[in-house]
Amino acid sequence: MALSTRHLLGIKDLNLSDIEKIFETADNFKTVLNRPIKKVPSLRDVTIANIFFENSTRTRLSFELAEKRLSADVVNFSASSSSVSKGETLVDTVNNILAMKVDMVVMRHPYAGAGVFLAKHVKAQIVNAGDGAHEHPTQALLDAFSIRERYGEVAGKKVVIVGDILHSRVALSNILCLKQLGAEVMVCGPTTLIPKYIRSLGVLVEHNLIKALNWCDVANMLRIQLERQDIRYFPSQREYTMLYGLNKQILDSLDKEITIMHPGPINRGVEITSDVADSKQSIILDQVENGVAIRMAVLYLLAGQGS
């Protein structure tokens, strides 16, 4: 087994050497993805099921592409059109899929800890593609990999995560990953969207966007997760944009040139304007490209094919 863990349920299951191994493997796969023939036979006899209980575009496509580039056999499963809507339990659903001899399960689920629960009850390897507001490990890995690609290393870099920290699985995974790699991390947003415990993770908290942007090397702009909000956390979207939206005017007024990231989907004109998202300081599309290489690396190393 190339990684120290059998499943990828969260960044907290990975040690520093695991993360570095994933990055080195992703470097090799990125070279493969830039060749005319973008396929390697590494997982030719492995069957992977993508089980998504929540909507997804980028993550699902990225995992599916990664699996196909590795020559794995892929089964796609969407909960909305399945027997889950008839009352079937999570364990039954997955066990039925595994009875068809599936080796690995990539799962996104609306409830935190769904992947951990599943790993205890089924034999297949589980890759967490996002569980509620808990973790999204491959997103954090591709974000850190993109920072490493831009600056040469992550250690010593100052990264601010702006927006809805309270409901964001991306924020938690990013904090854990960046801290392990030696970056300084700050979170920025309205008081109502910053969790009370957040300082215990060793991060700084700032409520003024301009101060946060002047402090950082990299700003990771998160969207407002309206689908997870059961109450109003701020008066209006317009007011949120006035206080925490990043536009070109703000970007150009900063003391230095910073790098802009976004995990997607982007709500243009809310947390970030189009001229910022499409600027030369933005590495948003690099993140998408790196997502395939990182997911190839994770699947390859989990399958025990690594050296």
Per-residue pLDDT of the chain (307 residues; tens, 9 = 90+): 479 999 999 999 999 999 999 999 999 999 999 999 999 999 999 999 999 988 888 899 999 999 999 999 999 987 766 666 667 788 888 888 888 889 999 999 999 999 999 999 888 999 999 999 899 999 999 999 999 999 999 999 999 999 999 989 999 999 999 999 999 999 999 999 999 999 999 999 999 999 999 999 999 999 886 555 565 777 688 898 999 999 999 999 999 999 999 998 999 999 999 999 999 999 999 999 999 999 999 999 999 854 3
Would you say 6 is a known binding-site residue? no
Would you say 263 is a known binding-site residue? no
**Cβ neighbours of residue 228 closer than 8 Å, sequence gap 6 or more:** 132, 133, 167
Would you say 59 is a known binding-site residue? yes
**Cβ neighbours of residue 201 closer than 8 Å, sequence gap 6 or more:** 175, 176, 179
**Residue-range domain boundaries for the chain:** 7-135+288-304, 137-284
Model pTM? 0.94
CB 154 within 8 A of CB 180: no
pLDDT at 259: 98
pLDDT tens-digit profile of 235-260? Answer: 688 898 999 999 999 999 999 999 99
The superfamily in CATH containing domain 137-284 is Aspartate/ornithine carbamoyltransferase (3.40.50.1370)
Q: Provide the sign of the torsion angle of the four alpha carbons 203, 185, 273, 294, taken in this order.
A: negative
Calpha distance 14→6 (Å, rounded):
10
Are domains 7-135+288-304 and 137-284 of this chain identical in fold? yes
Would you say 265 is a known binding-site residue? yes
Would you say 108 is a known binding-site residue? yes
CB 134 within 8 A of CB 112: yes
Would you say 44 is a known binding-site residue? no
For domain 7-135+288-304, the CATH class is: alpha beta
Would you say 211 is a known binding-site residue? no
Containing 115, the helix (H) or strand (E) segment is helix 114-121
pLDDT at 112: 93
Would you say 41 is a known binding-site residue? no
